[in-house]
Amino acid sequence: MNLMKRWRHGLCAALLCVGNTAIAQGFPNKPVKLIVPFPPGAATDILGRLVAQKLTEAWGQSVVVDNKPGAGSIVGAELSAKAPPDGSTIFMGHIGTHGANPALYSKLPYDPVKDFAPVSLLVTIPNLVAVNPALPVNNIRELIDLAKSKPGALNVASPGVGTSAHLNIALFRSLTGTDMTHVPFKGSVAAMQAMVGGDVQVAFDTVTTIMPQARAGKVKVLAVSSKERSPMAPDAPPLNDAGVPGFDVATWFAFFVPAGTPKAVIDKINADTVRILQSKETAERLQGMGMNIVAGTPDQLAAHVTSEIARWGKVVKEANIKIE
């Protein structure tokens, strides 16, 4: 009897392996949609279109970018979560959709864990801390001292409530015990205009947003949010080394598919995406835009999502940030 059970178990495993191989070999047999929850032209849109083009070439099947911005990326996430679980829809999730949103929104129309299957982390983009050149500070320690000497007097800009930059600000205030007034804007362009104009004195935003202003002498960069220096801002010390121990944050982007998508399909999307990201041509282009290539496994992304939800849930709760 035991031999018979083992034989049946082995046969089932073999049939499953054959089935998975057949599924992978047959995928994709129709156009694939890549939902990007950002408007056309954004750096993340460029990332999505670049990978989509390379996947199209690899698969011989169209991979079409479908921009679905809105409501903190909830619009795109909900559409993706409800798509058929056959690999025909890929979603570009990020630190918001699969990190902070569960804490930011009391009613979220998707579950970042139950409704999605992880495919791969793609890239990370660090934020920079910058100040108006007229502010009499030259490093993070001086900024902290000034903020503590004048509670609430300094205005700190972000591209909007609940954005990665806003989360950075909340964590910074928590770790340093400073009280700066958060001023959210509708996007990075408006935030930078206010910074250059002197309406706000401090700003957190991505390296790709701030460095053009820094090169023009319109803002002064004090630090980078990640523990590693950014090639785009090599002179900016990590916050962790500049007076805020334990600070290590980068905006991240990843591929997900609807829960229930066959593992063989997930593995194929992962393998081809990782190969594309690690190619010299793609890596050089993305790194030139301030993006750090990650290209990990589904299991690594799953662990990352679990960690991020816990991390930002705590920060959001302590800062009492809510979006209705």
DSSP H or E run through 116 = strand 116-131
> ∠16-17-20 over CA atoms, to 5°?
85
Query: Which domains are delineated in the chain?
Result: 30-122+253-319 (3.40.190.150), 126-224 (3.40.190.10)
pTM of the model: 0.86
Rg of the chain over Cα atoms, rounded to whole angstroms, equals 22
Burial category of 248 from C-beta neighbours within 10 Å (exposed 0-12, middle 13-18, buried 19 and up): middle
List, for residues 120-152, the tens digit of each pLDDT value: 999 999 999 999 999 999 999 999 999 999 999
- The Cα 119–Cα 215 span in angstroms is 37
Q: What is the pLDDT along the chain (324 residues), one digit of tens a residue?
A: 455 555 555 555 444 444 455 555 689 999 999 999 988 887 788 899 999 999 999 999 999 999 998 888 899 999 999 999 999 999 999 999 999 999 999 889 999 999 999 999 999 999 999 999 999 999 999 999 999 999 999 999 998 888 889 999 999 999 999 999 999 988 888 999 999 999 999 999 999 889 999 999 999 999 999 999 998 899 999 999 999 999 999 999 999 999 999 999 999 999 999 999 999 999 999 988 889 999 999 999 999 999 999 999 999 998 888 786
- Residue 129 one-letter amino acid: V
Q: What is the pLDDT of residue 14?
A: 45
CA distances from 226 to 124, 126, 237 (A): 10, 6, 9
Cis? peptide before 28, omega within 30° of 0: yes
DSSP 136: S
Q: 58 near 272, Cβ under 8 Å?
A: yes
Helix (H, G, I), strand (E, B) or coil at 85: coil
Mean per-residue pLDDT of the chain: 90
Q: What percent of the chain has pLDDT over 70?
A: 92
Helix (H, G, I), strand (E, B) or coil at 309: helix
Residues near 65 by Cβ (< 8 Å), separated by ≥ 6?
34, 36, 45, 48, 49, 52
Q: 165 near 140, Cβ under 8 Å?
A: no
